[in-house]
Structure 1
Amino acid sequence: MAEDFNSRVIREFRENDGKVGEPFTGLPMILVHHVGARSGTERVTPLRWFADGDSYVIVASKAGAPDNPAWYHNLKANPDTVVEVSDGAGGAETVQVRTTELTGADRDRVWTRIKDDNEVFAGYERKTDRTIPLLALTPR
């Protein structure tokens, strides 16, 4: 089912110049290209993104699951990648990025802002014992 949902979001993003429907209508979206850390298989994952300076920050919440999503491990293993990014209002661009994980005070600052503005992410944090990673995708 997740594959069908992700495929639909990717198709909508590409067919509508970066705009997608429910549950992401009008939200900033990013299609993250990543290579399997073990398999070497190329994949694309649609995610919300949050601005932090020049970086696009993505949240490895996996909806509050006890483990990190596969794309997190893939980006850690292969941090230089490509994203298709849109602010949600229309107009997508392809950008070469380098992935870094936010830690310490930087992570806390961004995570507090994300949770304050998006109750769904605060809910994911309540569902898990792990620290939810934040990855900054910075244009190269």
Structure 2
Amino acid sequence: MDPTDSPVGWVAKHIQEYIETDGRKGHRRWGVTTLLLTTRGRVSGLPRRTALIYGTDGERLIVVGSNGGGEEHPAWYLNLLADPAVEVQVAADRFAARAVEAEGEERERLWGLMAGLWKDYERYRTKTSRRIPVVILERVPAGG
């Protein structure tokens, strides 16, 4: 079953461009790299896809649940709390991954990495009372 894309118009357009070109258009956007993340809807059980800025920490991919500094966590983050098995697309590379929320000192280190890539993350942190999650995406070995 094909995933349902973000209901946000500009995000959905970004996703379609990314898919149609295997990331040749869309992987690099706004001066940063972006990936497509597909989660399983925590209520519907259906696949849901969004585009996110990412950074790297060795082989791991890092994403931030900023939701633009809004008071609510983004739906994709709530979905992966319910089911951390996700699908990722980085440019033309598509693979299964496991999502794990970073904690403690590792979270702070990874927050610094991501805030260095996207300066608005610091502004988002001042806009909200919630703790913005930092999520690690680890590739699942083929057949695993």
TM-score tier by shorter-chain length is 0.7 to 0.9
Structure 2 gaps of 5+ residues are 1-5
Please list, as runs of the form range in 1=range in 2, the aligned pairs for 1:45-64 lying within 5 A after superposition.
Answer: 45-64=50-69
Q: Find runs of 4+ consecutive structure 1 residues off by over 4 angstroms.
A: none
Q: For residue 46 of structure 2, what is the aligned residue in structure 1?
A: 41
* Alignment RMSD (CA, Å): 1.9
Judge conservation of contact 1:19–1:26 (CA < 8 Å) in 2.
Answer: no
Deviations 1:77-105 (A, max 9, x none): 1111211113xxxxx20011011000000
Q: For residue 89 of structure 1, what is the aligned residue in structure 2?
A: none
Q: For residue 76 of structure 2, what is the aligned residue in structure 1?
A: 71
How many residues are paired up? 134
Q: Secondary structure at the match of 1:98?
A: strand
1:52 Cα offset (Å): 1.2
Deviations 1:102-122 (A, max 9, x none): 000000001012223421111
Rounded to whole Å, the distance in 2 between the matches of 1:107 and 1:20 is 30
Judge conservation of contact 2:87–2:94 (CA < 8 Å) in 1.
Answer: yes
Structure 1 gaps of 5+ residues are 87-91
Rounded to whole Å, the distance in 1 between the matches of 2:127 and 2:44 is 30
Rounded to whole Å, the distance in 2 between the matches of 1:55 and 1:106 is 13
Q: What percent identity do the matched residue pairs reach?
A: 32
